[in-house]
Amino acid sequence: MNPTPRCAVLGLGLMGRPMAERLGEAGLLQAAWNRTPGPSPSSAIALSGTAAAAAAETEHLLLMLTDGRATEAVLADGLEAALRPGQIVINLATVGAQWARALAARVERRGAAYLDAPVLGSTGAARRGELIVMVGGTREVLERAEPTLAALATSVHHTGEVGTGSRLKLILNMLLARYVEALGEWLALSEAFALDPHQVLRILDESALSSPMWGKARALLDDRLPLHFPLKHMTKDLRLLDEEIERAGLSLPAAEAVHSSFEEALQSGWGDGDYSLIANWIRRRGRG
C-alpha cells in the first residue's frame, strides 16, 4: 500500500472543489481539472489543462462529475487512453449501478481499477472531511484507496461489487427526498390549519419523530436555505432509482410519487435551487 498516494480531482463543482481543497490540505492533491477553467483549489498546484494531463501525474483519480453520461464523456475525451495499470479511478459521484458497471468495464480494459464510491454528506461535510462513503469494488482495491478516502470521510463502507455502492446511495437519497417532501406537506397543512409551524417543530423535537433533518424546516421558515445539493441532481437520482425499481420488478408507489414531484418541480424551473426547496414547491402546489 502506498502511504502517500498522489491524487487528482476531476470535476470541481459544488462537491469536487471542497474535496480537492481538503486533499490539498492533507498534502495528497497533485492535480485537479475542471471542464470550465477556474481558480485552483490549492495554491500548491496549477489546474491541469486536460483530464488526461491530470491522470498522467497521479495514482488515485477522484471523479466528481454530474452523472454517468458526463463521466463517460470525460473518459472518451482522452482520459481513458491515459489510464494505466496501478491507477484507481474512484468515482465519488452518484451515477447509478448500470453506469457504474459500464464505466468500470472501460477503466478495467486499460488495466486500471475502479471503485463505485458515492458519498453521503454535502458541501460542508466534503470540506471538513466528514463524508460517508459507500464503496462497491474489490476489498483489495479499496484497501489501496483507503489513505485517500480517509482524508475525505469519517467512515467508509464496503458494500460489495461495483454497483452496490450506487444502489445503496440511491436508497438513502430516496429517503432524503421523502423527508423534504413530507416537510413541505406538514408545512402546507399547518398553514392551512392556522397552526404555528415552530410549535409543530418543538413537538417533533421532543418526540420519537425528532430528526436533525427537521433543521431544514427552521432554515426554510427563516428563508435561508443555501444551495448545497441542486434539485436537478436529486431528480437525476430519483430517476435512476425508478429505473432500478422497474428492473427489480417492484411496485413502490410512494417512491414513484416523490420522483414525480421532483420531475414537476424541475420542469417548473426549480432545478438549480437546493433540493430541499421542494418543500416550498409543494406548499405552493398545495395552495393550487
Which positions touch ligand NAP (CB under 6 A)? 11-16, 34-36, 64-67, 70, 73-74, 93-94, 119, 122-123, 228-229, 233
Smallest distance, ligand NAP to C-beta of residue 128, A: 13
Tell me, rounded to whole angstroms, the distance of Cα 261 from its chain centroid: 20
* Grid cell of 175 as nine digits: 429517503
Q: Which is nearer to ligand NAP, 12 or 217 (CB)?
A: 12
Q: How far apart are CA 24 and CA 41, in angstroms?
A: 7
- Kind and range of the H or E element at 160? strand 153-160
State which residue has the least CB distance to ligand NAP: 13
Q: Which is nearer to ligand NAP, 47 or 74 (CB)?
A: 74
Q: How far apart are CA 18 and CA 39, in angstroms?
A: 12
Smallest distance, ligand NAP to C-beta of residue 203, A: 29
Contacts of 170 (CB under 8 A, 6+ apart): 94, 96, 237, 240, 241, 244
Smallest distance, ligand NAP to C-beta of residue 146, A: 20
Smallest distance, ligand NAP to C-beta of residue 46, A: 17
> 212-220: long-range contacts at Cβ-Cβ below 8 A with a sequence spacing of 24 or more?
213/176, 213/179, 213/180, 213/183, 214/183, 216/179, 216/180, 216/183, 216/276, 216/279, 217/183, 217/187, 217/279, 219/276, 220/183, 220/187, 220/276, 220/277, 220/279, 220/280
Q: Which is nearer to ligand NAP, 35 or 239 (CB)?
A: 35
Q: Which is nearer to ligand NAP, 120 or 201 (CB)?
A: 120
Smallest distance, ligand NAP to C-beta of residue 25, A: 19
* Grid cell of 210 as nine digits: 425528532
Q: Which is nearer to ligand NAP, 46 or 195 (CB)?
A: 46
Q: Which is nearer to ligand NAP, 94 or 261 (CB)?
A: 94
Smallest distance, ligand NAP to C-beta of residue 270, A: 15
